[in-house]
Structure 1
Amino acid sequence: MVSFFQLFTSCLILPVYTLPFLKQLHLPYNEIWTNIKNGFACLFLGRNTVVENCGLGMAKLCDDCDGAWKTFALFSFFNICDNLITSYIIDKFSTMTYTIVSCIQGPAIAIAYYFKFLAGDVVREPRLLDFVTLVNGSRLGGGSCLGKCAHVFKLIFKEIKDNIFIYILSIIYLSVCVMNKIFAKRTLNKIGNYSFVTSETHNFICMIMFFIVYSLFGNKKGNSKVR
């Protein structure tokens, strides 16, 4: 239902992309449908359209459509898993458990970008500032980030106690979150000029997955309650 709502509302607010202050997302009204057509050609056919007068800091990013559908498919997969696991944790355990595990996302994602086998084309060199942040922490947060992470792990162990399943689920959830963020960035690097196409395609995939899951498990759950 949420995916259907996002799909519907995104179509309604399509004219918002014509606003000039959106910079790289800005599209003149007469180019919207051309952008959508080129976006689908990029995503599913690997066809580059924007190859000149483009790049970082310019009006448009350069297309890198080769294998874009693979990167996008992985992003959709990890994003759906992220949402499903989040809902499961909140439903079966508590929002406190979800909040505790979410606190580790920032440092984990920052470190994951150092490894090329994970980050791919968005890999970056380790920066001194990252390690200073980890060791010394920020003035706003107070205390070191490493100390906060250690405190978070203590809270996790306190939360799970004898329930090892929560611990395993927390590790899986953290891994999925990291991969979700990385492939979101990699998708943006490849087809950043076609954000409307990627968001609508992702919402459509989520909607299809919802109907499949509901048809497989929703009716069974309802029938068990009736019995």
Structure 2
Amino acid sequence: RVVAFANAVVPRVLRRRMPAETRITATPDGCRVGDAPIRFDTGDALARLTDATADLLVAQSFLDLVPPADALDAFADALAPGGLAYAPLTFDGVTVLQPSHPADDRVRAAYHDAIDAADGRTSRAGRRLLDVLRERPAETLLAVGASDWIVRPVDGEYRADEQYFLACILSFIADAVPDATDWLATRRQQLAAGDLTYVAHGYDLLWRA
């Protein structure tokens, strides 16, 4: 359903946002922007990266979900020689919700422990990726910087889909820490009232294959 939605909506959005002379053509699995193809697909993301022709690969908020070394192997297979990989918003082990709550430290530690317990995942993916890149002389790290998600209400309201996004974050924490019922009830009340702020610390990393 997500791919079908993207196929239907993305070409229309691009036609509104791109310069009028840019040719946007819908295709069965995505669209073309001028001569550049855009394809939407489902499946194992790392298994799809095999053709060694990409000049740029972007993996946003992704490398805390997969083993970083496996991801770098797959990226190297996908990129043409000298191609670039960019991993913005790579989570790195800091989760903050405001206002403060007495159970914050316990819930946060249990949430991160649950991420670390999942096969191949790490809650400190940003720094782990730095270590992996350092161990791989074939890749050249070009730039790295701190990059945080900060989602906050403005005048008691959230913009765009931010309230839905925060509800998803709370659901992830609920799945990982099922005994945090009082903490979750308070956080959901704060979200409904437009009082909840969320911060997740991450890294932006750029390297050359």
TM bracket, shorter-chain basis: under 0.3
TM-score norm. by structure 1 comes to 0.26
TM-score norm. by structure 2 comes to 0.28
The structure whose Rg is larger is 1
Which protein has the bigger strand share?
A: 2
Which protein has the bigger helix share?
A: 1
